[in-house]
Amino acid sequence: MKRWRSWRGTLAILLFLVSSCLLAQRFSDPPLTFRDTDLVGVWKADYERHGKGKQWRGSEVLTLGADGTFQQVYEGGSKVGKSQGAWRVEHLPDGRVRLWLEGGRFYPDMLESNTPFEQLYGYHTNNDGTGHPLDIQAGRAVLIVQVRSDNPSEIRLVYPAVGDPDSPVIVTFQRQTVLIPAATVVP
Per-residue pLDDT tens digits for 31-47: 988 999 999 999 999 98
**Which tops the pLDDT comparison, 184 or 63?**
63
CA dihedral sign of residues 102, 68, 149, 174:
positive
pLDDT of residue 6: 54
Q: Return the CATH fold of 29-177.
A: Lipocalin (2.40.128)
CB 122 within 8 Å of CB 110: no
Q: Say how far apart CA 171 and CA 66 lie, in whole Å.
A: 24
Give 73-95 as a DSSP string: EEEETTEEEEEEEEEEEEE-TTS
> Above 80 in pLDDT, residue 66?
yes
**Which tops the pLDDT comparison, 13 or 127?**
127
Split at pLDDT 50, 70, 90, the class of 17 is: very low
**Which tops the pLDDT comparison, 146 or 49?**
146
What is the percentage of the chain residues whose pLDDT exceeds 70? Answer: 75
pLDDT of residue 14: 46
Q: Say how far apart CA 100 and CA 140 lie, in whole Å.
A: 7
pLDDT of residue 130: 75
pLDDT of residue 112: 72
Split at pLDDT 50, 70, 90, the class of 155 is: very high
For the chain, the structural domain boundaries read 29-177
Mean confidence (pLDDT) of the chain? 79
pTM of the model: 0.77
pLDDT of residue 181: 57
Split at pLDDT 50, 70, 90, the class of 89 is: very high
Please give the helix or strand (H or E) that residue 148 lies within, else none.
strand 140-148
Amino acid letter for position 43: W
> Above 70 in pLDDT, residue 54?
no
Q: What is the mean pLDDT of residues 99-125?
A: 80
Give strand pairing partners of 74: 60, 81
Q: Say how far apart CA 46 and CA 57 lie, in whole Å.
A: 8
pLDDT of residue 12: 44
